[in-house]
Amino acid sequence: MAETAATTTESAIDLVCPECGYDLRGITSEQCPECGQRIDRAGMSLARIPWSHRNAIGRVRAYWRTNLLVIFRPRRLVEEMVRPVGFADAQRFRHVTVLIAWLPLFVVFVVTLVINWSDATTGIHIPTARFGWFLEAACFFSLLPAAWLALLMISGVGSYFFHPTSMSVLQQNRAIALSYYTCAPLAWLWLPAAFSGIAIAISSTDWGQWNFGQKLWVAAICCAVGFFVAIIAIGWSRTTVLMRRTTHCGPGRSIAMDTCLPVAWILSAVLAMGIPLVLFYISLVIVSFR
């Protein structure tokens, strides 16, 4: 009961127009005096993000409804700035998305390992070769936690642009929470992962030696690259649009976000992949002394 009262009080203290960000405190009109947007004061007290109601509608349905909402109806997400936004809910959505994005990479990893297992173990009979294979396997397996860490960093790095000091603390917290929902496109990484798996399977079988198989391989690679680029583009556009609409920032901050976000993603991936790279370097040093 105290939580509900606190939320209502916060909403009443920090009421802004969802369209232009105009401060509506003390305004009794049903329209924003700045842009003319109709103000639904009663609806502003209820969250409309499906993930916030997952206990009522089911976790799977709530997740994918929210995922599609972010991708196809980002304006609805912007409107949540005038409603209670649960930071813990946003974090859970982010972690679920990272898990869904990571699982296809795990499957491709297992498929690749199974396909190449016989080749990797053929002829290994001496201790030195076995030790070298062990180091190679350690580097290979380190890719899984590195990929998870990279996805986790990529899904949250955009939030650093969502709290300009010109906004109240409550609005900053809402904007940061909403920024975590923009990682939704990552859940579709199973599409490029699936086509990458098909390409690996074709190249590892007799199909790769036939003309038809080679065409299938090229088509699978093109689909994998196309879906991957589309996912990155959608994630970038949804994050930048949400930042502009929720913070009502100037052109300078908007341009900085547009240019720095892809760089931040790349740096996050490079830092995360430093784990297997370090292990690979150590293995080379150890093997060179044997």
Per residue in 208-238, pLDDT (tens digit) is 567 777 888 889 999 999 999 999 999 999 9
Whether the per-residue pLDDT at 124 is higher than 80: the answer is: no
This prediction's pTM: 0.76
Predicted local confidence at residue 131, as pLDDT: 53
d(CA 9, CA 26): 14
Give the Å distances, CA to CA, from 243 to 81, 163, 232, 258: 11, 9, 17, 10
72-86, 93-107, 112-126, 240-254, range with greatest mean pLDDT: 93-107
* 194 Cβ neighbours under 8 A, 6+ residues apart: 104
d(CA 63, CA 184): 9
Q: Give the amino acid at 233.
A: A
Predicted local confidence at residue 178, as pLDDT: 93
Whether the per-residue pLDDT at 98 is higher than 70: the answer is: yes
Mean pLDDT, residues 235-249 taken together: 90
Mean pLDDT, residues 193-211 taken together: 77
Predicted local confidence at residue 96, as pLDDT: 97
Least confident range of 40-54, 166-180, 261-275: 40-54
Whether the per-residue pLDDT at 127 is higher than 60: the answer is: no
> What is the enclosing helix (H) or strand (E) of 276?
helix 274-288
d(CA 249, CA 264): 20
Predicted local confidence at residue 27, as pLDDT: 65
